[in-house]
Amino acid sequence: MRNIQSGSLQSEIDNNDKTTLGFWIYLMTDLVMFGVLFATYTVLRGNTFGGPLDRQVFNLPFALVETLILLTSSFTCGLAILAMQTKNKTQVLMWFVITFLLGLSFLGLELNEFNKLISEGNSWQRSGFLSAYFSLVGTHGLHITAGLVWMGICLVKVWKEGLNSSLSRKLTLLSLFWHFLDIVWIFIFTIVYLLSGI
Amino acid sequence: MTKIKQSNNNLEERPVKNLKTYIIGFVSSIVLTLIPYFLIINHFTTSYVLLTVILVFALLQMLVQLIFFLHLGRETKPRWKLAVLISFVGIILIIVGGSIWIMQHLNYSMSLLQLNNLMQYGEGF
């Protein structure tokens, strides 16, 4: 990064920018998919078919804890990227491990919530509202799972190979993905959970 | 490209600046989460006002995270990311807004029970 004037590095940075832009466009198409799921949820929210209403099944303090955990993991992911810029391998590993654990606990809480709903007989088969809820939140959970797998692989590679430029690029894209999932969750928190409390 | 060169010349002070932006982003995200949460818990005002308020807070938080976590503001001059974001947000607004609008209209026109109620009480037939 220091000898920015040399030709090969310059082209590498341009290339990097193209990769980031391509990944950014993927994230935006993903956002459209979430938009469709949000539209479905808003339309089907009242269609409970005699089943429970949203305010009867959601636990707001629980959702707040999930939100705070995911927010914190987004922050630690940013700190890992900062450490990557100063080429500090130990700190990169440390912050990414913390991010990974926070993400894992978020996923655990979400699965716990799903499990509780299903065991009470309120699975996705119960009503249109619950189908839409499980599709929306489940899709986000699948993204989180994919992000965790990706993060795990990257962590092992960084640990073994150190921070080379190809891994740094992957970690940058991973951080974009993780921040993006955080933004999607903010809307889930608002539209699914907070709206149920009105 | 000149901008990249400039920002790389003072590479030493960049991480500190970045740390600040991450902390600002993190703290304001938490505040922007807690305020609507407590407004909802305490049923602060009428539901329509509350709905608008929590949606505004979600949008604010999205902006905060886009700027402080995804560094959208620091993009160099041909702002492709911003252009892509804006066009996709347009698509999403059409899809989501359009769906809600159409389905409400459908409910209004199709539901017999609602139609009955509406004719009796709403429009005075």
Averaged pLDDT for residues A169-185: 95
Nearest CA in chain B to A72: B26
Q: What residues in A contact B40, CB-CB < 8 Å?
A: 60, 194, 197-198
Distances (CA, A) of A82 to A78, A117, B82: 6, 40, 23
CA B106 to chain centre: 27
The domain locations on chain A are 12-196
Q: What is the DSSP string of A62-128?
A: HHHHHHHHHHHHHHHHHHHHHHHHTT-HHHHHHHHHHHHHHHHHHHHHHHHHHHHHHHTT-STTS-H
| Least confident span in A15-19, A100-104, B32-36, B82-86 | A15-19
Q: Residue B76 to residues A112, A170, B3, B4, B81: CA-CA distances in angstroms? A: 43, 21, 7, 8, 10
Helix (H), strand (E) at residue A179: helix A165-188
The count of domains in chain B is 2
8 Å CB contact of B19 and A82: yes
Which of B37, B57, B77 is the C-terminal boundary of a domain? B77
Average model confidence (pLDDT) for chain B?
A: 81
Which band of pLDDT confidence, cut at 50, 70 and 90, is reported for residue B114? low
Q: pLDDT tens digits, residue range A14-51? A: 566 888 999 999 999 999 999 999 999 999 988 888 88
Residues B83, B71 share a domain: no
Mean pLDDT for the stretch of residues A71-77:
96
Q: How far apart are the first and last CA of chain A?
A: 51
My answer on whether B93 and B118 are in the same domain is yes
DSSP string, B72-102: GGG--SS-HHHHHHHHHHHHHHHHHHHHHHH
Contacts of B20 (CB under 8 A, 6+ apart): none
Q: Which residues of B touch A13 (CB under 8 A)?
A: 4
B28/A contact by beta carbon, under 8 A: no
The yes or no reply on domain A12-196 and CATH 1.20.120.80 is: yes
- B100/B60 same-domain check: no
Instruction: Mention every residue, 6+ apart, whose C-beta is less than 8 A from residue A53.
Output: A129, A196
Q: Say whether both B69 and B97 belong to one domain.
A: no
> Predicted ipTM?
0.86
Domain residues for the domain of B122 are 79-125
A190:B51 CB<8 A: no
Cβ of A79 and B50 within 8 Å? no
